[in-house]
Amino acid sequence: MSETIWTNVVLYSGHRLIEGGRMIVTEQGTIRAVGDELLPIPAHARVRDGGGALLLPGFIDVHVHGGNGYGVMDAAAESLDGMSVFHARHGTTAFLATTSTSSNEHLVRVLRSAAERIGKTPGAELAGIHLEGPYLDEKRRGAQSKEHLRLPSQTEIEQFLEAAGGHMRLVTLAPELEGALAAVSLLAARGITVSAGHSDATYRQIEAAIQAGLTHTTHHFNGMSPLHHREPGLAGAGLALGELTTELICDGIHVHPAVVKLLFDTKAPEKVCLITDAVSPAGLPDGEYGDVVVRAGEITLKIGSSLAGSSLTMLQALKNAMRYTGYPLEKLLPSLTIVPARQAKLDRVKGSLQPGKHADFVLLTPELRLLSTFVRGKEVYSADQAE
């Protein structure tokens, strides 16, 4: 198979859109060159005319639990594959399999299952693991299992890291817990991004955690100590402290559109990481699924009213963010591409259309309807074939 050159596309490069863009993809699934119509067509290259479509870096979801009836906590290859196919249909090209609080035995099984499917999923690429819990604050646990919450243990963390087989890229914990700062330091020293989430931490406690290596917040504003004018809490710390990149569930349910705009205006897209926090029933019809209820896109626990993840997709998150903020596409794209790649330590190979990186990209109409999703140069979703 020879190289492929994409022509006649509106190509996103850096912070701008290039009309009449061209991109050369190698037979190994990497990008060889990116440019405009002056980029020469190689001899024997397969020419693909994009018909004026937008060609954008693929979306990277660093916080996703499942979708279309499949979940990470199933600890099954077919579930990871199923959710990868579902999210590829909505523009995701890479994701971190995200856990939920559970027993040691179950989490070890889940981590091993995910580690075995790294780079093997048929849709969006499973590129790593996000451990959310079990080291969370009971007061801010939301839908996380109360029964299995516990304090950080270095022995258990080492067990989790071993089970993840070197693929742990993000860990969410409550930094105010006893032993949490030592855990932050341990994880950061291993090159793992540490995030504050499901936390009742004070502003001062977050400052201390940053000194230990904290750089991220989990689904900002949700499951955390709120902003108060005398105690900014974790919500205020995320807004005020430049060291922190803030995740955001931009579905209009978890965070009010006005607060979405506030976060983007305050932090700038380079410090906002859009996520789905999608759970197993995402994409399914309204109804009851286990201990949760899906109703008009909102997912809550059957007992109580706590939100239990979302039914959001990355493409819808982009559309919502554009509507809520008034920002143009090219300004918001980093929050779905290079920012999550950076936070997951994947930016050397993913997150932007640059020579040497994986050819992970999406084709969209000017109205942002998804046409195709490509992972490492291979088409994993086509709207034409889906119809």
**Annotated catalytic sites, by residue?**
277
Q: What is d(CA 307, CA 65) in angstroms, rounded to the nearest whole number?
A: 14
- The answer for residues whose C-beta is within 8 angstroms of residue 360's C-beta and 6 or more apart is 57, 58, 93, 94, 125, 350, 374, 375, 376
Question: Is position 358 annotated in a ligand binding site?
Answer: no
Question: Is position 75 annotated in a ligand binding site?
Answer: no
Question: Is position 223 annotated in a ligand binding site?
Answer: yes
Question: Is position 254 annotated in a ligand binding site?
Answer: yes
Question: Is position 308 annotated in a ligand binding site?
Answer: yes
Q: What is d(CA 260, CA 228) in angstroms, rounded to the nearest whole number?
A: 18
| Angle (nearest 5°) at CA 66 between 351 and 185 | 60
Q: Which regions of 240-334 does DSSP assign to beta strands (E)?
A: 245-249, 272-275, 287-289, 292-295, 298-301
Q: By C-alpha distance, which of 84, 75, 130 is closest to 103?
A: 75
- The H-assigned helical ranges of the chain are 77-88, 104-117, 154-163, 180-189, 203-212, 233-240, 257-267, 314-325, 329-332, 338-343, 383-386
Question: Is position 104 annotated in a ligand binding site?
Answer: no
Question: Is position 307 annotated in a ligand binding site?
Answer: yes
Three-class SS of 98-143: ECCCCCHHHHHHHHHHHHHHCCCCCCCEEEEEEEECCCCCHHHCCC
Task: Specify the DSSP class assigned to residue 225.
Answer: P
Q: Are strands 92-98 and 59-64 parallel, antiparallel or unpaired?
A: parallel
Question: Is position 220 annotated in a ligand binding site?
Answer: no
Number of alpha carbons in the 13 Å side-chain half-sphere of residue 172: 33
Question: Is position 222 annotated in a ligand binding site?
Answer: yes
Which residue positions form the known binding site?
Answer: 132, 143, 198, 219, 222-223, 230, 254, 307-309
Which residue positions form the known binding site for substrate?
Answer: 143, 222-223, 230, 254, 307-309
Which residue positions form the known binding site for Zn(2+)?
Answer: 132, 198, 219
